[in-house]
Structure 1
């Protein structure tokens, strides 16, 4: 089924609270959008037990500006919620967003500076640790006291479930009192690395959402 839209561009936040229907092969249930971030959105409704990860469903979202519907798949299930993905055309054309939404993290990495000839800087053959503060499918942000110029190329190993080794380009930096923050773009991720990174980000988004809701219940 072709995705259909009769709404203007929407912010992710404007979707939260919107009425939604979810139709499977034998079920039609209603609920509301309770979370939307990047590719992921959450539908909260008591009938989540009738669906399971991997199910293909038709989603219709009713917003104050109009409605749109599309087919997608369930990627995770909670007690009274389902997590689904926006299809790429909905995600890229109809939602106002960053090209690659950032995920706030605290993970470690190690870098080598790269010379203009593409080789590692002989002065920094040792692994230089950095603390990564955000990550997306397009790049990372990390802090360090190293004097790294903008437009520098770095070789980095990012400690995910499976470490990712790749090249970064420093596109901007900010000075802080005790350190510097560097925003970097990925330059050479392989297709397999892109798949692994996207899967890791999606899983972390869902884990963080569950943790946030659990913390709210305990307050």
Structure 2
């Protein structure tokens, strides 16, 4: 059974089928086009597998014929439990990492290295490097998600390497995000939501 989403508008309840539910994004298809506007905040009731019923409020962030895309922000406890549900997206971006130098004679004490960010999620990321990096040390990470000199896409975070491999003379590192300030966390969250929405809107259902 697909999950069923009921939306209340005024005194009328509209029922549709949930076609996507991951992270903050819910996509639902209704028998007819709904008279909703982007930005509307709507009370919702979702039923999954005839067992789980969830009440929440969601905001309309896009619509397409009889498809409606809703932003649902989970509670703090839900987010901790569901963080792994956020998708991972491939990227082709240049990024920087910074780490303490192992050379005690290094006058600066830190090393900076440009790397290729190859995928990212809300909880972690992977990058490719031409040179090895110390996998046992915390890494400082910097990226501009929308290109250079755009503050709305700047993300700084502290990473911990959880796996590494060498392939064709490149070094690949998978990392989890250890610490990230709230402003950068919300920037990353917004980027992932935009990628989700772009991917879903490109599908022809």
TM-score range, shorter chain: 0.7 to 0.9
Match of 2:177 in 1: 186
Match of 1:89 in 2: 75
**Equivalent residue in structure 2 for 1:76, among 43, 62, 67:** 62
Cα distance in structure 2, aligned partners of 1:57 and 1:165: 31
Cα distance in structure 1, aligned partners of 2:81 and 2:180: 26
**Equivalent residue in structure 2 for 1:147, among 121, 125, 132:** 132
Which is worse superposed, 190-199 or 27-36? 190-199
**Equivalent residue in structure 1 for 2:34, among 12, 31, 49:** 49
Match of 1:64 in 2: 49
2:160 is aligned with 1:170: yes
Root-mean-square deviation (CA, aligned residues, Å) is 3.0
Cα distance in structure 1, aligned partners of 2:94 and 2:11: 47
Secondary structure, aligned partner of 2:167: coil
Deviation at 1:89, TM superposition (A): 3.4
Deviation at 1:113, TM superposition (A): 3.2
Secondary structure, aligned partner of 1:206: helix
Deviation at 1:187, TM superposition (A): 4.6
Match of 1:4 in 2: none
Cα distance in structure 2, aligned partners of 1:98 and 1:190: 17
Alpha carbons 1:111, 1:154 under 8 Å: kept: no
Q: 1:159 to 1:87 in 2, by over 3 A?
A: closer
TM-score w.r.t. structure 1 length? Answer: 0.73
Cα distance in structure 2, aligned partners of 1:157 and 1:29: 44
Structure 1 unaligned runs (5+)? 1-13
Q: 1:113 to 1:34 in 2, by over 3 A?
A: same
Match of 2:149 in 1: none
Q: 1:168 to 1:96 in 2, by over 3 A?
A: closer
Cα distance in structure 2, aligned partners of 1:166 and 1:27: 46
Q: 1:153 to 1:69 in 2, by over 3 A?
A: closer
Instruction: String of CA shifts for 1:5-63, please: whole Å, max 9, x gaps.
Output: xxxxxxxxx8xx22221112354211100011122111111444311222122222222
Cα distance in structure 1, aligned partners of 2:47 and 2:75: 18
Structure 2 unaligned runs (5+)? 103-107, 147-151
Count of paired positions: 193
